[in-house]
Structure formats: structure tokens, C-alpha cells
Amino acid sequence: MGIEVAVEGLTKSFGTQTIWRDVTLTLPAGEVTVLLGPSGTGKTVFLKSLIGLIKPEDGTVRVDGVDMVNDPDRRVFRARKRFGLMFQDGAMFGSLNLYDNIAFPLREHTRKTEREIRRIVLEKMDTVGLAGEEKKVPGQISGGMRKRAGLARALVMDPEIILCDEPDSGLDPVRTAHLSQLLIDVNARIDATMLIVTHNIEIASTVPDNIGMLYRRDLVAFGPRETVIASEDPVIAQFLRGSPEGPIGMSEEKDAALLAEEAARAANRPRPVARPIEIPAQLRPSPGEPERSGEIRHAARVDALLPSLPHAAAEAIRRGRVATAEAAAVAAAAQQAAAQRAASASQPAPQPETHPAPQPPPLPPEFRPPGETP
């Protein structure tokens, strides 16, 4: 089970350069959170601050009673073992094969026997789809495999919190989609609290329970994925659309002259037709994986927020949930059909059978379309 990470009033500078100030957020236990932000806004610095590798000047990061910013090194070092870290480049030792790279934290930080280490390493390599690749060295494998090896290494110490720094960097869209699914499956299996730093809008809109965004030295958004995607804030909307138009410029922020020029250009264009907000379905665990308990807790929090949201956002959340439930029903039907095919292939005389169509989970009353009864 994952544990909560509570960040309060965190401020970090290097010399005269303020990276971010007064950042307050909570990574809810067992949920997946994505941290977005233009390049150079200090996302990696934030990850390093959570594990006490970088010390902010102000604020606290509390992990089960330990303050990773202000407590003595001994306590911070012990608490750091509860984190699993997946670095951008995989951070593999080039001279060690994958097995030894993944075994490294166990040999370094535990007194486990080689037999126990072998069991754990092979299990984690299997989890990330690298079974049989133990002897390869990092130079012999693709970027996607290196990422998965990095994830396997992050998992060997049974972390309660997993931090992933740009897990998708350098990956093609198909491998990024596989990695997204893998992260969701890992979350379903071990219920760890996860924080993923990424620029990838597809990951941000379909993977996490929560989204945070850093911009101009502030945390400008933090909340459930649905409410952030439905936000009308121009910075968030521009980032999620990946559009050059808006307050975010080439060097993080645009100057006033450029913004005024853009506004004048926009005023001369016909107004675009307002489109309804769309909240994509969230990825679900693969068939055979457990349900994510983080997802259930997250849904309850979103329910509590609904009455305070603008009508359009609440409606978009309702449609998003219907889409997620429909996607789940389609996946369940496909799984059932595959199981039927497998069963009939092994039977000499298949019997025709009828099955009721899978039902999506019931929606809470405020999500039901008008006139629909449960």
C-alpha cells in the first residue's frame, strides 16, 4: 500500500534564481499523479526535493512522519528507501548486465541472499516484460527496454512511492502507450503512490488520477485529472492543447509585447465555435490485473468536488466517466470472447451459449443522464 506525500510551503532557489515558491500539494496514497510544466520550471528539482537529494530553503515534505527537508540525514536516508526512482535515461551501469543492474539496490541496501535476490530480480523483470533478457548489457537494448529495466530496478525494494522522471522521453508513441499501460498495471498490483514527470499530453490526460502543473515559479494547478483538464485557465489550456498561442512562450513566458501582438491577431480572426470539454477515458489495468484501489478513492474525491464545479466541467466529467465505463465494458467483453474461444478450441464439440452483456459500473446519481434510473 502506498503512502501519502504531503508537501507544504516548499520554496527552492539556486543563488538568485527562484525555481519555485510556496508549493503545497498532497500526493494521495496509492494514486497516480502527473506533474507537468514547461521546460526548465523545476520538475526534476521538485522530484529530487521529495527524496531529500536537494534541500529547499523553506517548507516541508512529510512522508509517514519524516520531514525529508528538515530532518537529520539518518532519518531521511531511511525514509528514502521507501521510494523507487525511475530516471529519464534509465541510469543503468553500462558495464553491468540487466540482471546485475536490477539487483544492484538489493545488494547495496539489503542483506538478502543471492537466492532471494534472484527470485526478486526475475519476478520484477517478468513484471516489466524483460524475462529472458538478463544477460544483455544496456548498450544492446532499445530505449524502451532500458526504461522498463529502470522500472524493474525501481521496483525491487518494494517501494511505497514511485517517482518517474520523464519515463516517455525518446520513446515512439506505441512504446509510450505500452509504458503507460505498464505504469497503470504496476499501480494496480502494488498500490504504490506514483508521481510521473512528463511533457506528454497523452500520458497526462489518460494515465493519472491527479495532475499538477508548475509555471513561472508557481504551482498553478493541482487536483483530480478531470478538474484540471476541464480548467479554463489559459496556461493550463494552452499546455494541454500543445498550442503556441497563449501565455506560454519559447522561453517559458512571453513578454507583454508578444502577448499584445497575439491578442491583436486573435481579435481579427473569426471566433472559434466553443467546443464541449472532453475528458478522455482513463487507462484501466490490463485484463487479469487487480482493480486499482487508488482509482476508487480518487472517484470518491471527485464526487465530493462535483457540486463546486462549473456546470460544463461537471458535465464533461459525467461524459468522461461514461466513456471510461464503456471502455471497461468493451475490454471485459473482449476478454470474455477470448476466454470462450480458448475454451472452445480445447473442446471437441463447442456448445452455443449466450452471455449477458457486461454492465458498466453504476454511476452516482449526479452523473446519471436525466430520466435514467439505476
Ligand X SMILES: Nc1ncnc2c1ncn2[C@@H]1O[C@H](COP(=O)(O)OP(=O)(O)OP(=O)(O)O)[C@@H](O)[C@H]1O
Question: Does 11 sit near ligand X (CB under 6 A)?
Answer: no
Contact partners, residue 194, CB within 8 Å, separation at least 6: 2, 31, 32, 33, 161, 162, 163, 164, 183, 186, 187
**Residue 309 CA: distances (Å) to CA of 82, 222, 313:** 36, 15, 6
Question: Does 41 sit near ligand X (CB under 6 A)?
Answer: yes
**From 6, 13, 21, 45, residue interacting with ligand X (rule: CB under 6 A):** 45
Contact partners, residue 201, CB within 8 Å, separation at least 6: 239, 240, 242
The residue to which cell 517478468 is assigned: 126
Instruction: Give me the 67-106 binding string for ligand X, x by CB under 6 A, dash otherwise.
Output: ----------------------------------------
Give strand pairing partners of 253: 248
Instruction: Give me the 184-213 binding string for ligand X, x by CB under 6 A, dash otherwise.
Output: ------------------------------
- Window contacting ligand X (CB under 6 A); options: 43-51, 75-83, 151-159, 284-292: 43-51
Question: Does 43 sit near ligand X (CB under 6 A)?
Answer: yes
The minimum distance between CB 75 and ligand X, in angstroms, equals: 23
**From 2, 37, 84, 320, residue interacting with ligand X (rule: CB under 6 A):** 37
Cα separation, 186 vs 152, in Å, equals 10
Question: Does 40 sit near ligand X (CB under 6 A)?
Answer: yes
Question: Does 137 sit near ligand X (CB under 6 A)?
Answer: no
> What number of chain residues touch ligand X (CB under 6 A)?
10
Contact partners, residue 158, CB within 8 Å, separation at least 6: 190
Using CB under 6 A, which residues numbered 15 to 34 contact ligand X? 19
Q: Which residues of 188-198 are buried (b: 16+ CB within 10 A; e: fewer)?
A: bebbbbbbbbb
Query: What are residue 179's phi and psi, to 5 degrees?
Result: -65, -40
Question: Does 39 sit near ligand X (CB under 6 A)?
Answer: yes
The minimum distance between CB 25 and ligand X, in angstroms, equals: 16
- Residues making contact with ligand X (CB under 6 A): 14, 19, 37, 39-45
